[in-house]
A and B are shown apart, each in its own frame.
Chain A
Amino acid sequence: MAETDRDDRVTQAYRALGGEEPPRALDATILAASRHRPARWRVPLSIAAVLVLAVGVTLRMLPPKPDAESVALAPQVIQTPRPAAPVAEVARAKADKAPAAPAPAQPAAARAPAALQSARRAETRAPAAPGSVQQTDTLAVEGAPRSAPAVAAPAAADAALREAANRAAEQEAAQPDAVAGAAAEPQVRDAAAASPAPSVLSAAKLPEPARTPEAWLERIAELRKQGREREAQESLAEFKKRYPDYKIPEALTR
């Protein structure tokens, strides 16, 4: 018998063993599983949901942006004018010790360097806002001569100081004459004019209230009556520089 025939015998015998089949319950389970298909949109939806969640969490973790109001307020808070005590004190001390400083109309090289430096430091502490600069310049130029040229900072000085000084000069030209003060006033005014930073100066801290030329001359006369001749002479000299065209009474010019 050929091997093929013998193989057929094996095959037939094997077939005779019977054809076991899986139970019907198992068939039903498998067929039911084959019909269950996840919706096609579920996967993209799941991905989209995860992305939305991730973005939301990330945004919540970011630091909050400062709103426009707080940003706008911040410079104003910083730029609030500060008392000019240091500059005023320096100027007052100078007035007590030294003779009159050069007139504010003089070039920047004649300015009191200490006052300029103090003003510069004060400006660094509280940078000026345009509005306050204008206001302070108005106070600073009271008593200054009408035709006084703009205050000029040294060439090497801060550009901001120069600009503020120029604005002060413009204010001077537009302002009416201010009353000159006592001998201490030029010192203070010099410091104030040289330190255009408004944060340095304030009206309340000026050594003497603003005076007209007439009041200044009255003050000079008063000094003479009190026997304070030297102070009267210094003040008169300062007055002449400030108001070169002003007709001084003869009694005071002797």
Chain B
Amino acid sequence: MLAYRQGNAGAFETLYARHKGPLFRFVLRAVKERALAEELYQEIWMRVIESRGRYAVQARFTTWLYTVAHNRLADHWRKRGLKLVDAAEADDPPAPRGFEPEARAEGRQALQRLAAALAALPSAQREAFLLHEEAGMTVGEIAAATGATEEAAKSRLRYAFAKLREVLDDG
């Protein structure tokens, strides 16, 4: 990112190639709508490009990138009258029909249940889980990216894993 800030366009291409898949999946599984996910995904990268002049090394680039993504998603939920919560909310939008993740041959049903369970997680827990799985972030980094305390981030992650384990165990 520092190289990109100094004018090296190739440095951005390297960053983009490394983070485009995880970030896209993070956004996709957070909003559950592909068209909306693509729109938000593009906006997140535009913010990264526009912020290159102000970028300062305070944490890993991954933490900074997902902080931007978190803020954009929070803006999205705010416009819809929603907010990231720990507990399951009645107004948490359910996954739309037709949202079916790609499934492997073995355990297709289990995977489908897992996908449904992931979509059903409270948004804060789902976010913590996705940051852990897609971005490889630690509890501290999750806390920094989401603006939460480490205890809150740890709790959200634990509950997310617990619920997903139940689904797999029930399978």
Chain B binding site: helix, strand, loop or mixed by DSSP?
Answer: helix
The answer to whether A16 has its CB under 8 Å from any CB of chain B is: yes
Instruction: Spot the interface stretch: B56-64, B70-78, B79-87, B160-168.
Output: B160-168
B164 and A10 within 8 A (CB): yes
A30 and B21 within 8 A (CB): no
A19 and B168 within 8 A (CB): no
Count residues of chain A with CB under 8 A from any CB of chain B.
Answer: 24
- Which residues of the other chain, A, contact B12 by a CB distance below 8 angstroms? 31, 34
The answer to whether B66 has its CB under 8 Å from any CB of chain A is: no
Q: A16-B104, A16-B107 are in contact. Are A23 and B38 (CB under 8 A)?
A: yes
B41 and A17 within 8 A (CB): no
Question: Within the complex, which residue of B20, B25, B110 is in contact with A27, where a contact is CB–CB below 8 Å?
Answer: B20
Distance in Å: Cβ of A35 to nearest Cβ of chain B: 5
The answer to whether B170 has its CB under 8 Å from any CB of chain A is: no
- Which residues of the other chain, A, contact B41 by a CB distance below 8 angstroms? 22, 26
A34 and B114 within 8 A (CB): no
Q: A17-B103, A19-B25 are in contact. Are A9 and B165 (CB under 8 A)?
A: yes
Separation of A21 and B49 alpha carbons in the complex (Å): 20
Instruction: Give chain A's interface residues, CB within 8 Å of chain B.
Output: 6-7, 9-11, 13-14, 16-23, 26-27, 29-31, 33-35, 37
Instruction: Give chain B's interface residues, CB within 8 Å of chain A.
Output: 4, 7, 9, 12-13, 16, 20-21, 24-25, 28, 38, 41-42, 45-46, 49, 101-104, 107, 110-111, 114-115, 118, 133, 161, 164-165, 168
Known A-B contacts: A10-B161, A20-B21. Give 4 more (CB < 8 A): A13-B114, A17-B115, A23-B38, A27-B20
